[in-house]
Every structure is written in C-alpha cells, then in structure tokens.
Structure 1
C-alpha cells in the first residue's frame, strides 16, 4: 500500500480532493473503500464511491484492473475458501440514461445477429438490494467471495435466519438484508448503515440481542434474487417509460435499494450475448446519480405522529435539487438533532433522487439546538424513549387522535373521502373515535358544514366500507396497534380467530412462530387499549373474509398440506383465486421452481423454462384438472370425517 492511514483519512474528509490524486492513488483508495464497504465498515457513502471516486477512475483509466475484476468481499472471514456451486459475477453498472441507451443498442445489435426482431426483446427489472451477497444451494450458504470461491456461512441459517416470503432454501444467488422500516425504528441508533448490521449477522462471533431479535421477527432475511418482485415489458416500453419504471421498482421492497437491475429474459439472446470475466452482457444495474446540495436550515419544527413520536422537520432555504424546489426535510429523530447539532443556522448536506422524499445526509455545520419540552399538539410534557422524543398523551393529543382515525380508513382501503382534511373537520366538531364516525348520518355531517352532496357521499362510503369484503387481518391492522402491521395480524389470525385474540396472554402470543416476547408484550397491551372501540365497530357487521386457522387444517391434514407449489400457465379458473384458496388450506405458494418445490401445477401456454426446471429438480408436475381433483377428494374426506365426529 502506498496510501498511509493519514492520507486515507484526509481523502475521506475531502481535505485531499479527487483531482489531487494520481491514477494509482485513486485506484488504491477505491479498493480500500470497497473492502471496507464489503466488510460492513463503510468509510464513505455508497453514492460517493460510485459517483465521485469510481466515476473519476473510469474517466481517467478505463482499463484499470480494478474495473475488470469482481470486487472482493472483504477480510472478515477466516474460513477456508471453497468453490461456489455456480460462478457469481458482478453486475455492470450505468449511471445515466445515455449508458442505459448504449446497453439497449448492444441488445438490439445482438438480436439482429441471431435474427430476433428487436420488438420481441423482453426485459425484466428488479430492485438492486444493498445487502450482503450470497449463494444458497439448499445445504450450504456461501459468500460471493471473488465470484468463484467464497466462505461457508451456513451458520446464519442455523441461527434462525429465514428466507424471504418463506419460499424455501436452495434458490441460488441472493442477499442478506434487513427491512428498512425495522432498521430505522430499532437499529439506527446502534448502526450507522444497514450494511453494518447485516455484516454483524454473518460474522463468527456470538450474535448480540438486537441481531437475535431481528432474526426472530423476520426483519433480517435472505432474499433470493429469483423471489424479488419484478417489472416486465419489451424494449419499447422500457424506452418510453424508463423514469416511471425506475421509480416504481425502487419502491417494491422494504429493503435498502441502491438501484434497479435490468436484464433480458429471451434465453436465446442471453446465451448469445454471454458474459465477460466480470459480468453478464445481457444484464445491467442502473444507479441513479443523487444530486447533493449544501443547504442552510432556517428552523426545526416538531411534528407529532399517530403513535406519539415527535419528528423534527427542518425548514430550509428554498433549494433547487433534482428538478424540484426543496423547502423541508425530516430530521429522523430528536436524538440525531441533539447529537449532530441540527438547529436554526446549521448547514446540512441534502440529497434527493427523482421524486423520493429529500434526505438529510449529514450536518456539515452545527448550530445550537432547541429540544421541545412540550408536545406541539396538546402541550403535555414530552418524554424520551431511547433516541425518540415521545408524547405519551395518546388518548387526548389532537395530532395522535386525528392520525389514528386517518390511518384506519387508509389501511381499510375500501372507501373514499376520509382523508386528512375530512378527519380534521370531524375532529373540530367533537369526533374522537372511529365508532363515532360510523354513527353519523348525512344530516349530522351537514350540520358540521359539509355540503349536502358531500354528506351523502361520505355516508355511502361508510356503508361501502362495511359491505365491501376485506380480510379480517386488514380490519385488525387498521386499529394501529404497535407491532401489529398487516403481516403480523395475518400470522396471528392463522393461529387464533378474531373473536378470541383479546383473551390471549403473553405466553400464547410469544409461542406463535415469528413473535418475540417483546413484540408479544406490546401486542397484549395494545389489544387491551383498542378492545372497547373494536367491540363498538363490530356492531356494524363488517364483511370480513375470515383467515383459515392452520391448527384446524392440521386436524384434517391432507396430502398437499404444507407442500410448496408453483402455479404456472393460463388456468381455466382464476390463477389468483387458486393461489388464495391453496394458501387458505395450508399450501405454501412459490413463484419459481427449485429443489424445494413439491409440485408444479400447469395450465395452458406454460413456459418451457419451468417445465425444464421441474425435470431438473425432480418436481412432480400436475395438470390443473389433477390438482383440482386432489383438492376435491380431500374436501370430501374432510366432510365425511366431520360428519362421523
């Protein structure tokens, strides 16, 4: 190494600029930064690495060996390296539409050479996860290493790490990630970046309590690339809708995402284009350049959320960034305000990508901070809970009451008209509970100042929300109990019916797979708080689709119970309804065929790839008719058993 630690530190602090570095020094710094990133101890941001240092190296020395090899994983693993079941290449990267367009031109040129009409080129796009890459062959999990050899880190599955969507082991390449929402709420005070936390899950040392908790609550996961949500379309759509596609794909998952991966799905074109030593030519990752600006903070305003959390909002000097004028940005929580000196007169580094909410990267110049002592909504004294400033006046705080009512209708998602403006107006006229809203008549609403037509429409929307069928877990989630999002509500109601949940104790809930003791305690407390309101609303007889109890299914176990099934092709009935019914009787639905798949159920116009995969992995193939016959025979057996009992 030619760069001393002192020089590296000065580069990080930008006391030595990129222009002051030689090509060799720049390449060495990129290598140091890359190794630190992959070991979970980033020294610069991912954006700075891509758009400042690596971009400069490409411009100056495009043939540098660093740009031609697969980035190593870091040095934190002491295990002997072993051959990977498959070579794991890097992904070529584009940082502008111009680079994407050049990639498309290469696709079209290759298509001409194999006599494929360019209009027939099919593309899929998936989120580019910012996690820890690995390969799962069903028996062992490996790090990517140098693409050919990696370390055996199967211990992460032995520690209880789950696979995304419970889709099973053996799906090949993927990444270990942590849910972004979970990280921000429970881990951001202990880890600077999600990647730092993800690296801690893999290391040989004993896991700390926070890591164990994240694994037990399925917030930390292994996500197979084949299981990611996708956008699919042809070249024409990609060109005409590129910006909207990128925006949509970036929002598809609750994980840290640093770009969008585009790839060809035509097998003949993929085979023809092949790969070089570093990446597949038929695949590319688009990483959007995030504009940055140094912005002066005019003031910091506290905002109250529905749970009582006080969020600092920085009021900024109007700044043009990525095509929009930014005047406000959230400061995450008041622990950061206090720690970094985010106050009136401070200077921040602000980023914004496309239409995404502006983000404060760091405070460049601190200023005296003003920590509120009273809630800005109800004037009650605030309390600290870890790094979060909280208003605990949950029942009487106007902002929290309004937020909870708005949240109910938003989660129910089968009504119109009950946005924040309507809810605030109802609050002004004494409405404090959802049950009070459902008791209103059109004349009541007219007396509050709503127009006659609007009043009638609102009452009709209330009726619609009770008549239009919704899942029972969605109804429960709408009450906004802490740790009771839609996923947890569905899991709870697979074990206990809705009318029994208020009698559950800590032991019963914590015994459910995926519910840690801390979560269970918060749920028990939260259910007691909403019970009266729940009972009042139940009088309106909401049309609830009841979740099937898995404990009942096990009493009448059938040959497909617990089996992993993939549905493919055009079905005589609705494929979505078939999946929904299968899930309700204890079948696990997968989206791709792997060694862990039990059955492939096929309709018409089935893709050859899934059939070939089924043959490769020895998966039994059923026609739609055979599958339905198996289900019907089992239903008849269950009916007979019930009658005998």
Structure 2
C-alpha cells in the first residue's frame, strides 16, 4: 500500500473504530461482532506501525495504554473548578430557586445526578483532546491525560474544530466493581476509580472498565446549558439520560431549545463545513412544582442505578444569569448540590485495634463509645488504613462524627474535637495475632504468615458463609467458639469433629447441634466450583472459577497438571484471564497449601471435579440478562435462581440498566421494579420465570 492510500485508510479506520466504540460503550447498541472489531483494530495498529508518521496520540490504538511511567505533572486549570454549595433538605433547594427567580424571573434550571466518582476536566484544542486534568485543589491538578485516553467513553477527537473544556466524572459501574472487588483493596467504586486513575502505568488503567459522564462544559458562543449539553451528546459524550430541566409552563411548552440559538447556527461558528441535519435533541423538562417529587424519585431509585450517585446538582441554565450571579471564593452562586447525606452520629474513640483479614491485611478499627445510628447501636467503625487516620488527624480520645456509608458500614468521617491527652496511633510492627513481622505495602499492613490464627479463623468463616459453602446454622459465633477452644484449626476440620462436643457449652441444646450437623452434611453436596472459590485464594472468585471450568480446567487434577507445566498461556488463552492472574494461578495450584487442601477434601469424600451438567451448560439463555428483586418463594436462596440462569448461559446483573433483558419480581420488590418500568424492561413474576426455566430444559 502506498503512503497516500495508507493515510486515507488510517483516517477511515479511526473514524470507524470511534463510531463503534460510541455505539458499544455509550449507546449500548453494538453493530459489529468482537471479531470484526478486532480485525479493524489490528489493521489500524499494523498500518500505524508501518507508517508511524500518520499515527497520532489520539488514535483509538492508544487506548490500550503505555508501560511508560507517568510523572503526573501539575497543570493550572484554564477554567474555575470550584466546589459546590450544599443543601441537605428539599426546603433549602426550593428556597435557593425562589431567591434567584425573585431577582431574575425568567431563569430556568438544570437538574443532574451528582455522580460519586472522580472529577476531571478535559481540554480540547481544535477538536483534539489536548489534556485531561484532575480536579486537584480547583486551581491546579494532575496531568492524567495518558490514563484518560484509555477510557473508551472519552472522545479523543471531536467532529468539529472547536476549543472546549468539558467537566465530568470518571466512575466504574457497581456491577463491574463487584466483579473486580476481589482483585483490589478499595472499599467502594469511587475509591477504586480514583486509585485506578492515579496509577503510574496507563496500560494498567486500560484493563479497568472505567467510564466517563460529562455534565458541564465551557465554550464560547453558547448561551445556555441546554444547548451545551446537547452539543456534548452530538460529540459522542456520555451525558446522563436522567438530566432534567426546570422551567415555567410557558417555556416548557415552547421547549428551551427553540428559544435559544439553534444548534446548527451555533456549531457553524466553529466550522465552515455545513452542519449535518440531525434529529433535535430534547431533554425532559419539568415545572417548578415538580422539583420536590423529582428529588423523592431520585432518592428512591438511587440504589437501583448502575452507577453510584450521592446527590443531585441544580444549576442556572442561562449563562448570562450565571455571569450576573458570579462566584464566592469557594463556589459559584448559580449552582448548588443536594446531598443524600448518610446518617451520622457523634461519639468518642475509646481505642484502636488492628484486625487481621483472611488475606493477611491488617486493618485499623475504631472502638467507640456505643451510639445509636440508623436503627442500630454502633460500637466499632472502620478506619481503612494509616493514611486515612493521618488524613483525619485522629487519635484515641477524640470526639468524632461517624456515618453508615452506603447505609451499611460504619466509618469515622471527621474529628469534631481533639482529646486533651491524645494518644497517637501507629502501625504495629508485628502481627497482633501471631507476632510475625508486619510487611508494609504503601499505607497497607500485611501479615504473610500462612498459619496466622486470625487468617485461619477468617478463612473458615468465609468458607462456611452464605455466599460460599453456605453451611447452614454454622455461624460466625459458633466458629469463634470452636476456634478459641482449639476444636478446629483449619478449613477441613469443619468436617472432622464431632459436633456433639458443643452440648457442654452454654446455649447449645441437642436440637441446635443436630441442625449444625445437618448443615455440614448438606454442604458436602456442593459442586466443585463452589468448593474451589470458597477456599478464598486470591483472584479465585466465583466468576474466575467458572471461566476455568467452562474452558476445560474442570478438575483438581487438571488444575494441578496445568500449574506443573509452568506455562501461563494455558490460562491466558482463556478470555478474561490476563498474564498477572495466570502467573498467580500457577503459584496457587502448585502451592503446598492447595495440594494439602485437595488431598484433605478427597479423603473427606468430596468430588474434586465438575459434573457433566456443570461443564456443558445450555445456551438457551445466551445473550439474555436477568436481575432479581424481592423474595422468590420457590427458591430458598436467590443464588439458586441465579445459578439456574447461568446454567442456561444467561447473565445475572445486580442493577437495572438499559442492558437488562428481564427483571424477575418476587414478593416485596424494591426500587428496581420502578426503574425497570421507567426503562421499559420486560418484567416477569416468579411463575413466568419458572415456566421459562422449564421450557429451556
């Protein structure tokens, strides 16, 4: 191919790949198969290698990232990146709106989700992504351009030669975080997204399915937010479909767009080429008297969204009014955030203890003066790691504010009053359980002793838990009792002891002991895949085990033989397993620990291979996705229903989104039902679901 044809083909391929990226990652409407996409991608990569003069930094091939280290240079922001004023009640929001309308009666407003992600600014020069900068302190941020180039929902090139600054949030969907939570140390999706975005190597960032929502922009020639967000949509940015505009009845009927300069007239200012005629973009518009009910609606559906939000943002729509309202030193007067505040309480930190998890991580926990919070009494709260303690400037004896993050996990949020005699907190030099010297990896402390008693006990608790072997009636308190009395020391001991010995302990009658015995016997019927991921080895979670089994590594013997060959390609040939994980699997399946456990379970009579129906799944539900809400009367555990779906090749989702095919509804359904109706998702009751299962056999 000559140089001119190569140049034309490279440009053609870049446009095609960006188009298919947009359809796949933003619209969720793939138009070509993975095989066809890979062929286009490989062709572009090959041509760029042959003709490097035509390769540029914004090529789709650059999204795979680089192994070169980024130094995160500091960059001064070109636009104000201030915090927002906050409100915690609907009354405060209504008062804020009314105050502005009293001064500027024709004002309209936008209402957007407040995404719980990582705030960044994208700067485009002549339509090309020039740099991506973290929020930083609002004036100076880190240059994270190379990492952001790997995020497929961030356009690298716009179809207009335009200078524009785009603000938005980098995030990871809740479902993706759940899949990857065993591979990271982060407590929630936001922290995971932040940690990923700050990695030194962009090639590592490229492996994580980060996404980007655009919610604001600065660009000359536009007179309101409605038009500017419409432009972002046209340029291929992911703008939340839940974005609303608030107006009076007259403007609602006319639509905000028609009262503004037309899209075609505005964009023609930036490019002499004719603007393509496209269908008019319209956001939903509500009236002022609907604001409170919309806030209630978002509070109701927030947990069913595919991503995390922690509030709503209200902004003045007209830029001329924004300019008149101006800024304080801290925030713009034309915007305010309504926060879904987690319940809080005030208490005293009485002590700090360090607890050892089954993976060896040593985590600080605050021992608190017991306090009522969100319907329960809280006496302990997580402190994550030593850096978090330093950030809070926390010491024993301080008066603190605590919350239930995600309405579940108690956490210390801030120090309200310092103790008169503070006791400084330091990372222990030795494991509090086994006295082995602690290993530090950044701010995280680890115990590497495989036989550490705390690690062993936590592994047993994990093994018996509902999400693993589900040993009924063998709860954490019973395991604590057995472990502290040296009746069990390791996982296989669960199946070796005579539980009648519990009769000598207070609270254990014959009926209770018999129920534990029944639970033990019942758990022996669990399939090989459940046994394997219940052992708690790093990276060996539920989904990964299924990948191994479905790709022929379906027995203990085959896994051990594969590890003996010391060839990572045996594992990397499986779609979804990378080199790092493959190396770890070789280490695990050849380890003394794994060999010991397999030998013990074989002697206990466990089947160390997948049964035929576990290996050869039906494809009846292939391409279909399901989500379950409420209680299903015919399935004692929701996991059983989910296994039936997966057995037929279907996919189980944890949240309702446009990707969902069916919502299965049991009794007492949650907010997922309303969200499914909103998105026109097919809804079926338990009877219909069972019929579908029967018909697919």
TM-score between both structures, scaled by the size of structure 1: 0.52
Q: Deviations over 1:198-242 (max 9, x none)?
A: 8x59xxxxx853x643553x5646899999xxxxxxxxxxxxxx9
Cα distance change on mapping 1:376 and 1:412 into 2, 3 Å? same
Cα distance change on mapping 1:141 and 1:445 into 2, 3 Å? same
Cα distance change on mapping 1:520 and 1:313 into 2, 3 Å? same
Matching of residue 530 in structure 1 with residue 594 in structure 2: yes
Q: Deviations over 1:563-590 (max 9, x none)?
A: 634799xxxx99x999967855767789
The partner residue of 2:122 within 76, 79, 87 is 76
Check the 8 A contact 1:297/1:314 in 2, yes or no. Answer: yes
Matching of residue 489 in structure 1 with residue 551 in structure 2: no
The alignment partner of 1:436 has SS state of: helix
C-alpha displacement of 1:300: 1.3
The partner residue of 2:582 within 520, 525, 540 is 520
Partner of 1:465: 523
- Matched residues in 2 for 1:383 and 1:475: separation? 30
Matching of residue 61 in structure 1 with residue 116 in structure 2: no
Partner of 1:306: 358
Partner of 2:439: 383
Q: Deviations over 1:112-136 (max 9, x none)?
A: xxxxxxxxxxxxxxxxxxxxxxxxx
Q: Deviations over 1:146-189 (max 9, x none)?
A: xxx99999xx9xxxx99997xxxxxxxxxxx8559749944689
The alignment partner of 1:316 has SS state of: strand
Matching of residue 406 in structure 1 with residue 445 in structure 2: no
- Matched residues in 2 for 1:498 and 1:188: separation? 33
The alignment partner of 2:124 has SS state of: coil
Partner of 2:569: 507
C-alpha displacement of 1:497: 0.7
Partner of 1:418: 474
Cα distance change on mapping 1:511 and 1:386 into 2, 3 Å? farther
- Matched residues in 2 for 1:302 and 1:288: separation? 31
Cα distance change on mapping 1:579 and 1:358 into 2, 3 Å? closer
- Matched residues in 2 for 1:185 and 1:463: separation? 34
The alignment partner of 2:412 has SS state of: strand
Cα distance change on mapping 1:586 and 1:454 into 2, 3 Å? closer
C-alpha displacement of 1:394: 2.5
- Matched residues in 1 for 2:123 and 2:587: separation? 43
Check the 8 A contact 2:358/2:459 in 1, yes or no. Answer: yes
Check the 8 A contact 1:179/1:220 in 2, yes or no. Answer: no
Check the 8 A contact 2:528/2:609 in 1, yes or no. Answer: yes
Cα distance change on mapping 1:526 and 1:408 into 2, 3 Å? same
Partner of 2:402: 350
- Aligned runs of 1:546-557 on 2, under 5 Å? 546=611
Cα distance change on mapping 1:540 and 1:39 into 2, 3 Å? farther
- Matched residues in 1 for 2:518 and 2:462: separation? 19
Partner of 1:328: 380
Give structure 2 stretches of 5+ with no counterpart: 1-76, 114-118, 129-151, 214-237, 242-294, 319-336, 628-633, 663-675, 682-689
- Matched residues in 2 for 1:443 and 1:501: separation? 37
Give structure 1 stretches of 5+ with no counterpart: 1-37, 83-138, 166-176, 202-206, 228-241, 261-275, 279-284, 601-608, 615-623, 633-645
The alignment partner of 1:424 has SS state of: helix
- Matched residues in 1 for 2:367 and 2:656: separation? 47
CA RMSD of aligned residues (A): 6.2
- Aligned runs of 1:146-295 on 2, under 5 Å? 182=181, 185-186=184-185, 193=191, 196=194, 200=197, 208-209=200-201, 212-213=203-204, 215-216=206-207, 220=210, 256-258=308-310, 288-292=340-344, 295=347
Cα distance change on mapping 1:187 and 1:379 into 2, 3 Å? closer
Cα distance change on mapping 1:298 and 1:585 into 2, 3 Å? closer
C-alpha displacement of 1:252: 6.4
C-alpha displacement of 1:480: 0.6
Cα distance change on mapping 1:446 and 1:466 into 2, 3 Å? same
Check the 8 A contact 2:172/2:193 in 1, yes or no. Answer: no
The alignment partner of 1:393 has SS state of: coil
- Matched residues in 2 for 1:507 and 1:326: separation? 49
Matching of residue 369 in structure 1 with residue 425 in structure 2: yes
The partner residue of 2:497 within 420, 424, 440 is 440
- Matched residues in 2 for 1:43 and 1:547: separation? 59
Partner of 1:51: 88
- Matched residues in 1 for 2:453 and 2:517: separation? 24
Check the 8 A contact 2:343/2:404 in 1, yes or no. Answer: yes
Check the 8 A contact 1:409/1:415 in 2, yes or no. Answer: yes
The partner residue of 2:389 within 337, 355, 370 is 337
C-alpha displacement of 1:80: 6.9
The alignment partner of 2:403 has SS state of: strand
Check the 8 A contact 1:311/1:331 in 2, yes or no. Answer: yes
Partner of 1:3: none
Cα distance change on mapping 1:459 and 1:476 into 2, 3 Å? same
